[in-house]
Chain A
Amino acid sequence: MDASSKPPYVGFACNTQISFLHGSEPMRLPLPLCPLVACLLIASNAGCAFDSELADRVAADVVVDSGAIVSAQTDLGYRVELSRCRVALNTVEFTTDGEQHASLLGRAWDLMVPSAYAHPGHYGGGEVVGELSGRHVFDWRDDGAVLGQATLLDAEYSGANFGFTRARAEDGLHPDDPIIGHTFEIAGVATLDGERWEFSALLDQDDGRRVVGLPLSLDVDPGAGDEPVLGLQLHIADPFEQDSLFDGVDFEMLDEDGDHIVVIEPETEAYNRLRRNTQAHDHYGVAPL
């Protein structure tokens, strides 16, 4: 059969070996079934087109927002200020809280795999209807640095999610960069009663561990010609409950040799507390700028 002389989906259905449907044994569809498959595929395509028409979208720059990287007081009374706060994240998702049309759009996008929108769909914390894909290694103090361009469907956004990863040289890092293999590289100064400690930590999160439910309030209207800019924030001090990222870390206790330099090492309670605190969505936010 000459595929080029047929409608495109008939050619595909009848001449393509569909090996994934039959294990390692490629399956060739019998000719009498071709009209059926063609019909179904045409209908499927029509369905996709129908859904795509609904999927009005806008592009939004996502940038680093350092506005919440501030001097903060911990529950133990230390005043902490960061001089470095590098992190390795992967895909940032933007969510709505389950509007019907958003749900339909999420399903529509599921059909578009492997497009840039491979993962929209239902996820704890809301319906995912937008995303900034890819890996991102950045310093949260680098205000305004562009992380990339997110694609957002026409929806009222109420939250965001992201995943942690481990930095790699392929992320554009020097092979000797200390963050390689880690999720956070944090350094700063803690002060208490006139004493001062310089501290640092390399934190590891499980690759793919997600932070779900970052607050976001954004109404995207593609028809309005808006080009929103979204700032990804880390809150050293939780704006809701006032706890800090460094709560429970006793820098003086960690300074065993009294040199006022503290390295927060893995398998210590301080490390575990800091790692746990960085998993809580209260310490993050997305702000329309």
Chain B
Amino acid sequence: MNTQDRITKCRRPWRRRAQLAAVTVGLLAGACDAERAPTVLRVSAYGEAYVEDRIPAEDVIDGWEIEFSEFAIAVQGIEAEGEVMPGRYIVDLREGSAGGGHLLGELEVEFEEHPLLGYRVAPVTAATAIAVSDETAATMIDEGLSILVEGQARRGGETIDFRWGFATDTHYRECHSTAEPDGGEAHSQLTIHADHLFYDDLDSPEPNVAFDLIAGADADADGEVTMQELRAVDITGEARYQVGSREISDLWGFIEAQTATLGHIDGEGHCDAGA
């Protein structure tokens, strides 16, 4: 009898004890599988209060308050446990969802305790528009953007506007959803962490959310920081804004690299991210 035979035969007489098996999974580390049941998995996208409301000044190390007026992302390749949702979507996460996020679609999947999901934030040539203006959706398609953010940072009497489009293509894989089946249904949320755009380190597990260096990039002092102005900021002499081994030397490149860290699952759940 091989190992798998032993595992299978030990499991079957005890299906009713599956809950206990789940409790002991930390000890067992994969010894016995729980039952896989068909489940309708609803998938939504959510930008948290940081997008729907603002990033408050107390969360930003240099005291800036950051408010988005648009935070549009293009999502495609949503899959769970190997089942693919065929649609492509452009959704503006700035639109209020009362914490529920914006429903993108649903999948019928089988999973054990929690599903593994994947998705891409990447430019699209056509998409279903969700909570986004036609103008913004058209801009993203025409300009090949995966992320378009617009907003304003405020501190005291200062204001800095920004409108940045990114063409990055990030594939989030093996996202550890916390979704649990309930009456044959479950819900996973593609959670976008907007504050990462303003992180001051690409590798530190405890970076700051910061805006001073970005504000200082406003070379023409017109109150708006553009991509070109960010590109002109050399970060190689900065104490913060560390990049590890990446070939990044300007502030635009730094923020662009941060766009690959935005995607999460069900709040704080992590994914493997790559091109």
Contacts and interface: CB of A to CB of B under 8 A. Distances in A.
Contacts, number: 89
Nearest to A12: B27
A122 B271 CA distance: 12
B221 interface: no
Contacts of A44: 27-32
A36 B14 contact: yes
Interface stretch (A132-140, A173-181, A226-234, A276-284): A276-284
Contacts of B204: 206, 209
Interface in A242-289: 248, 267, 269, 272-273, 276, 279-282
Contacts of B24: 21, 37, 40
Interface string A39-63: 1111110110010000000000000
Given A111-B29, A279-B244, A282-B245, A40 B239 contact: no
A209 B203 contact: yes
A212 B245 contact: yes
Interface string B1-23: 00100110010001001001101
B10 A43 contact: yes
Interface residues of B, number: 29
A202 to B, nearest CB: 15
A8 to B, nearest CB: 14
Nearest to A269: B237
A40 B21 contact: yes
Contacts of A167: none
A211 interface: yes
Contacts of A210: 203, 244
A210 B201 CA distance: 13
Contacts of A39: 10, 14
A36 B17 CA distance: 8
B20 A36 contact: yes
B236 A122 contact: no
Contacts of A40: 10, 21, 24, 28, 31-32
A163 to B, nearest CB: 11
Contacts of A267: 239
A239 interface: no
A288 B149 CA distance: 48
Interface of A: 18, 20-21, 33, 36-37, 39-44, 46-47, 50, 107, 110-111, 122, 206, 208-213, 248, 267, 269, 272-273, 276, 279-282
Given A40-B32, A43-B3, A273-B237, 6 more contacts: A43-B6, A44-B29, A212-B245, A213-B245, A280-B244, A280-B245
12 contacts: A40-B10, A43-B28, A44-B30, A46-B31, A111-B29, A208-B205, A209-B204, A210-B203, A211-B244, A269-B237, A279-B203, A282-B245
